[in-house]
Amino acid sequence: MSRQHSAIAAATLAPLALGLAAGQFSSVARGGTRATATAASGKTKIACAASLLACPEAGCAHEGSSDAVTNALKRAVPAGGNPRTLTLDDFKRLQDDEVAAFGDDKIEPDEAERTKGLHDLKVNGGRVSEGDLVQVVGYLVGKPHANSGESVNCKLTGATNNDFHLTLADDPASEEFSGIVVEMTPQARPKTWTLKRVVAAQKLERPVLVVGQLFYDNKHHVNDDPENPTGGDPKRFSLFEVHPVTQFFVCKTTDPCDPSHPADWTTLETASP
């Protein structure tokens, strides 16, 4: 990892949720019309709800299934308080430890297995669990985009009904293979968080600070080798994500910003008016 990591590793927990943008995270869901999504294979996915407002916590998954647990977690909002600062190195360590525990195969844990296997995980300076409020600094790389037709959002189409998929890396020139995924969910995403603004912030080539829930995406494989990419798996070196994102900040300068100093950061709306 590079220049940003030295600043992040030395940072303490940052009470940004209490200062710069308190109330930035909205819990109001927005609706949408019934739609279908066409997968890469050409098969049509039929929406299982008429709108996002009607989409249950389990999405299209059967209640009690592993997929239902995963979908519910993707939409869970972590408890407030001071987020734990993680570095991209921490995300690499978390991934390495999960591979050692579960192997490289996709896993389908039930709720109890997930709670046990993703609890009290070692990171630099402490421990974290899935569901904890965390924050991480990096640069936006790749192409920010809206997902489409996911079970968690009842297979609805359209950007307003789907997660925004963003990739963070330690350098603005990095490829997505060298990054982690963070996702803004439609159920709680402020209307002012638009893809247009995210792309504009990316063009500034400034560090961004992402706050939200630590989540493990058990539905995919790591895809970190540009020489041997795997189809159907997002490009990234860790399956640990920040998902959902609850706060999003942009550094005021191109120099490294300290996540423990709120004055170093501005909101997405201010950075990308």
Of the given ranges (18-27, 113-122, 185-194, 209-218), which has the lowest mean pLDDT?
18-27
Q: What is the pLDDT of residue 44?
A: 60
Q: Give the gyration radius of the chain's Cα atoms.
A: 18
Q: Is 265 left (phi over 0), alpha (psi -120 to 50) or beta?
A: beta
Residue 6's pLDDT is: 39
Give me the mean pLDDT over the 135-142 stretch.
98
DSSP annotation string for 153-177: GTT--SGGGS-EEEEEESSTT--GG
- Is residue 221 within 8 Å of 230, Cβ to Cβ? yes
**Is the bond leading into 244 cis (omega within 30 degrees of zero)?**
yes
- For residues 224 and 178, is the Cβ–Cβ distance under 8 A? yes
Phi-psi region for residue 263, left (φ > 0), alpha (ψ -120 to 50) or beta? alpha
Q: What is the pLDDT of residues 140-162, one digit of tens each?
A: 999 999 999 999 999 999 999 99
- Domain made up of 3-10+35-271: CATH architecture: Beta Barrel (2.40)
Q: Is the pLDDT of residue 4 over 50?
A: no
Q: pLDDT tens-digit profile of 159-187?
A: 999 999 999 999 999 999 999 999 999 99
Mean pLDDT of 81-93: 96
Higher pLDDT, 17 or 55: 55
pLDDT in tens, 88-115: 999 999 999 888 877 776 778 778 888 8
Give the integer Cα–Cα distance in Å for 245 and 242: 6
Res 116: pLDDT:
87
The pLDDT assigned to 108 comes to 80
pLDDT tens sequence across 202-249: 999 999 999 999 999 988 999 999 999 999 899 999 999 999 999 999
For 21, 42, 117, 141, 236, the CA distances from 200, given in Å and listed in that order, are 20, 32, 38, 12, 22
273 has pLDDT over 90 = no
Domain ranges of the chain: 3-10+35-271
Gap between the Cα atoms of 236 and 100, Å rounded = 18
Rounded distance between C-alpha atoms, residue 119 and residue 54, angstroms:
32
Query: What is the pTM (predicted TM-score) of this model?
Result: 0.84
In this prediction, residue 114 carries a pLDDT of 86
Position 32 confidence tier, pLDDT thresholds 50, 70, 90: very low
pLDDT higher at 223 or 11: 223
Q: How far apart are CA 177 and CA 169, in angstroms?
A: 9
The pLDDT value recorded for residue 244 is 97
pLDDT value, residue 26: 36
Q: Is 36 a residue whose pLDDT tops 90?
A: no
The answer to whether 205 touches 272, Cβ cutoff 8 Å, is: no
Percentage of the chain beyond pLDDT 90 is: 70
What mean pLDDT, rounded, does the chain reach? Answer: 86
Look at residue 18 in the predicted model and tell me its pLDDT: 37
How high is the pLDDT of residue 113?
A: 83
Residue closest to 87 by CA, chosen among 144, 165, 7: 7
